[in-house]
Amino acid sequence: MLKILMTRFRQGCRTLSFPKGKLPVLPARYRGRPIIAAQEDSVDLGEITYIPDSGIRHSNDFRMAVSKREDLILKSDVDALAYALNKKIAKMFGRSLKLRQVSAGGCNACEADINVLNTPVFDLSRFGIQFVASPRHADGLVVTGPVTRNMREALLKTYEAVPDPKIVIAIGACAISGGIFANSPESSKGLDTILPVDLYIPGCPPHPLTILDGFLRLMGRIKKDQP
């Protein structure tokens, strides 16, 4: 027992203060929200895979979640932190959001960085967000992966099992657009071709902070204009 307590003491408190206080700064090489150079350029945050050799310049900003597919298309003339999130959803789920995750293809990197939210660093439960085992207990689905042909039915059945009103969150390039698998006959071209999506969190995979920021905006815990 003493050993457990001593280790606990040595570990200390590691939880991030986010969303309070200053925004956490990610390392210089981190590839966040792209920088649009020319007036006519645009980048689809939901299609790109955030690789270093794509020719796209990336900023350090991890905030990229949006609630409409078209908001993912980043243009230079829009200073788009375009998070128009639903007031009704915020009222209903703002203090308690139970989610059921469905992994529908993909490479498991998105799942891994969703799991990270349950570590003491992000401590998701302090926001009233919890991943639950049964879709019957859930307020919504979190979907990752390009929705493979073999997962389509299981996904639809899980969606049906979630009681109304329900929300759907697409995490990662694959779930949003099919990502790198968009051309495969085995996968779909995005979750919103199958289910209505309420929140898009882009990345390959998105940084845990991007995901957390998205969840909190969806719940109305981070206001639209709040940085």
Partner 1 sequence: MELFNGGHVALKDIPLLAEKEFREEVLLRCRDGARLANFFGSLEDGGNVRLIAILSVDEESELQIFSTKVLAESPRYKSLTKELLQAHLFEREIAEQWAILPEGHPWLKPVRYHTNYRAVPDLWKDITQQTIPGSYPFYAVGGEEVHEVGVGPVHAGIIEPGHFRFQCHGEEIIHLETQLGYQHRGIEPLMCGRDLKRGVLLSESIAGDTSIGHSTAFCEVVESLASCNVPIKAQAIRAIGLELERLANHVGDLGALGMDAGFSPTSAYFGRMRGDYLNLLLELTGNRFGKGLCRPGGVLFDMDTAMAEDFCRKLKRYKKEFEDVSELLFTRTSVLARFEGIGVVPLKIAKSLGLVGPVARASQLEQDVRIDHSSGMWQFYHVPISLAATGDVYARALVRRQEVMRSLEFLLKLLPSLPKGGIFSSLGPLKTDTLALSLVEGWRGEIMHVGMTDSQGALMRYKIKDPSFHNWFALTLAMRNQEISDFPLCNKSFNLSYCGHDL
- Residues near partner 1, by CB under 8 A: 3-4, 7-8, 10-11, 14, 26-27, 29-31, 49-53, 58, 101-116, 118-121, 131, 133-135, 145-146, 148-154, 158, 179-181, 183-187, 204-205, 207
CB 141 within 8 A of CB 9: no
Q: How far is the CB of 204 from partner 1 (least distance, A)?
A: 7
Residue whose CB is less far from partner 1, 92 or 109: 109
Helix, strand, or coil (residue 187): strand
CB 115 within 8 A of CB 80: no
Residue whose CB is less far from partner 1, 57 or 87: 57
Q: How far is the CB of 149 from partner 1 (least distance, A)?
A: 7
Q: How far is the CB of 125 from partner 1 (least distance, A)?
A: 12
| Cβ count within 10 A of residue 16 | 15
Residue whose CB is less far from partner 1, 67 or 187: 187
DSSP notation for 84-152: ---HHHHHHHSS-EEEEEEE-SS-SHHHHHHHGGGSTTT-GGGGTEEE-S-GGG-SEEEEES--BGGGH
Q: How far is the CB of 91 from partner 1 (least distance, A)?
A: 27
